Structure 1
Amino acid sequence: MLSSYLEPARTGFSTFVGVGALLLLPLVALHYWRFGRVEPRRAVVLYGLLAYGLVALALIFLPFPDRAQVCRGETMLSTTPFQWVTDMRNNMAATGRSGIQAMATSQAFLQQAFNVALFVPLGVVLRKAYRRGPFAVVCVGLGVSLAVEVVQYTGNFGYYPCPYRIADVDDLISNTAGALLGWMLAPVAVVVPAVPDAADATAPPGTVSVPRRLCGLVVDLLVVALVCRLLLPGAWWALALTALLRVVVPAVSGGWTFGGWLLRYRTRLPGGGRAGAGRIAVRELLGVTGLLAYAVAVSPRLGWWWLDLLVIAVVLAGTFAVPVFRRDQAGWHERVAGTRAVSERVPERV
């Protein structure tokens, strides 16, 4: 019996891999639009539910039969509660077996155990991640199971002229019991995180998001590229101009760069005070300016491609990837330097 579920489970997981990749960027955009950041616990729970849902649907509906093989006159609706108990007893009597082992290995018992286990993760997530009570979990489990049975009884909403799987009231009972069992087991499910409230997930007011800082950096680098293209060609001039725009100018102007001025943010201390030249220099040395310095001055002399990839991955991850999950959106270069990007409102005209 177990082997009959392996292929549908593999199909469901493969579908999750493809669908999850397609939903990654929309998910990031949705989280940024709603919370000003990507909340990691919400993302983990959402992706977990997506994987669970696709695998569960594959186990319930796959494999799809040929349409010519359905409508054989069989009764595809069972409305007798606990009919599986009678079927189990008949199966045991037909095989001349008795006892707990015979009961636990019978087809009817294993089918109901599978139906219970299928909905256990739903109950775990509803309680552990979303803090729902037992009544809500029972209602959700019953509603989802009822929707599945309706789809099965209608032949996948008319795609098949007759249903190819039995719509069974016992499935409603076992699925709902599985969701309730999951609610009971949720406290020991340490791998399922609790989804924080919207207030705890949202970035604080005035936080400068990673895309905003990235746009400011692109503006500064475009200025450097334009000047090097027209006046001062060469990698060393590009490095010098980048250091001028990203270190010297902010140290003199109170944290402003040209890109930051356009997007209304500047580099300050966490408390709002002015960041000194040393802190700004450390911030840039551990960020993109340091990466450019490595590319111009160090990489050509070493010629170690693996080290180049490692440096690029570390700098980009610490500067742009990891901060999207933090409430303050601060990169590792900012935390080491003790600086923050501070949003500045445009003064209103009287």
Structure 2
Amino acid sequence: MYETNLAIALIMAPFFIVLGALPFVSRQYARFGRVGLWSGLVAAALVLYACAVVAFTLFPLPEIDDPAQFCRAHAALAHPQLRPLASLDDIVYGADREQAFLQVFFNFVLFAPLGFFLKYRYGRGLTHSVVVGLALSLTVEFTQLTGNWGLYPCPYRLFDVDDLITNTAGTAIGWLLAVPLMKVLPSAWPRPRADLRPPGLVRRGLGDLLDFAVWWLAAAAASIVLAVFEIDSELAGDAMLYFIGFMCLLGLPLMRRDRSGPGRASLHLALAETGRAGPASRMRVFVRFLVFPLPFVVLFALEEPLWIGGLAVAHLIVALTGRSIAGRLSGTSTVTRAVVMGR
């Protein structure tokens, strides 16, 4: 079971890392003028940990064919276990002592990173961290007791007061471990600096990828809305997909002063006319869109993955020389927002 839950956490993490990357990265550039490699890794680890908590406390979700039979099979879980330290009896006298021990040990391990992150990344005190650990543990236990807040007709996991104890204790242990580790680990936050340097290839490329990622996430959300309203139309789905794409990749850059889509804006990037101060004109933004990313949108519509890959490689090779194909043909350069806005 643990292997399955770990796989679920690893699958969930990239999605939520992308989803959370925009506000996180934008805030990093606003506060520090950059995103440090180590601080970015710490943030990604925090997201992975959050996904692990969800995966290990709620999944796998059981299938229900007959609600009455399901509730009869899980009748013992409808009554919470409220006797403190009852799990010790299972470890000492139970039929499956190893499994009982692993359950208690795993509760410590699952919540220890919470205490560590609260101390290491957010500088919280021990009391504050313990209260947060207890609150999160209570949320998890009540979610299980209520059958995921009514999504299931009855609980399929046990509300156990020992879980509250071990989870909270695990949070305290993680906090205590963070104290000596902070003396050898780098700071969880980068040192501030003015964001005036020309952005590198990685930052520019990541901004473009985030633009496409926002399109994909927004399109996925739109498809969910269509499904909720029972609009089962391929034409409506395609129209929504490409409307959102054009808004993310052209509409927003035309409206924004920095001429950036949502992904590039999160990295505090701006589009300027080459050799001139200030943002690029709307005409140059449109020309840039015709060169990049419109060809990728067309190839995506035509379902030509090989051509998409080849075009991406061509853009990358030219970008390695210093300026992208889109920049050369549209007469634009990617700079930081601080340069364009004069601050």
Name the TM-score class by shorter chain.
0.5 to 0.7
- 1:58 correspondence with 2:55: yes
Task: Give the match for residue 112 of structure 1.
Answer: 104
Determine the C-alpha separation between the residues in 2 that align with 1:160 and 1:343: 52
Shift of 1:209: 8.0
Counterparts in 2 of 1:262 and 1:42: CA distance versus 1, 3 Å: same
Task: Give the match for residue 89 of structure 1.
Answer: 92
SS of corresponding position for 1:215:
strand
Kept in 2: contact 1:128–1:192 (CA 8 A): no
- 1:125 correspondence with 2:125: no
Task: Give the match for residue 136 of structure 1.
Answer: 128
Shift of 1:129: 1.7
Amino acid corresponding to residue 187 of structure 2 in structure 1: A
Q: Which has the higher Rg, Structure 1 or Structure 2? A: 1
Task: Give the match for residue 161 of structure 2.
Answer: 169
Kept in 2: contact 1:153–1:165 (CA 8 A): yes
Task: Give the match for residue 76 of structure 2.
Answer: 74
Shift of 1:55: 1.4
Unaligned runs of 5+ in 2: 200-257, 259-267, 281-312, 325-335
Unaligned runs of 5+ in 1: 96-104, 221-256, 264-305, 318-328, 330-339, 346-350
Amino acid corresponding to residue 166 of structure 2 in structure 1: S
Amino acid corresponding to residue 56 of structure 2 in structure 1: L
Kept in 2: contact 1:208–1:343 (CA 8 A): no
Shift of 1:30: 4.2
Amino acid corresponding to residue 135 of structure 1 in structure 2: T
SS of corresponding position for 2:88:
helix
Determine the C-alpha separation between the residues in 2 that align with 1:316 and 1:178: 51
Shift of 1:54: 0.5
Counterparts in 2 of 1:22 and 1:344: CA distance versus 1, 3 Å: closer
The TM-score, its normalising length taken from structure 1, stands at: 0.55
Kept in 2: contact 1:137–1:183 (CA 8 A): yes
Task: Give the match for residue 144 of structure 2.
Answer: 152
Shift of 1:117: 0.6
Task: Give the match for residue 188 of structure 1.
Answer: 181
Shift of 1:131: 1.9
Task: Give the match for residue 253 of structure 2.
Answer: none
Determine the C-alpha separation between the residues in 2 that align with 1:58 and 1:120: 16
Amino acid corresponding to residue 157 of structure 1 in structure 2: W
- 1:11 correspondence with 2:8: yes
Q: Following superposition of structure 1 onto structure 2, how do residues 243-258 of structure 1 map, counting pairs within 5 Å?
A: 257-258=275-276
Shift of 1:45: 2.8
Shift of 1:58: 0.4
Shift of 1:136: 1.6
Amino acid corresponding to residue 181 of structure 2 in structure 1: V
Determine the C-alpha separation between the residues in 2 that align with 1:19 and 1:87: 37
Task: Give the match for residue 215 of structure 1.
Answer: 271
Determine the C-alpha separation between the residues in 1 that align with 2:28 and 2:119: 22
Kept in 1: contact 2:81–2:158 (CA 8 A): yes
Determine the C-alpha separation between the residues in 2 that align with 1:167 and 1:149: 5
**Alignment: residue pair count:** 229
Kept in 1: contact 2:130–2:172 (CA 8 A): yes
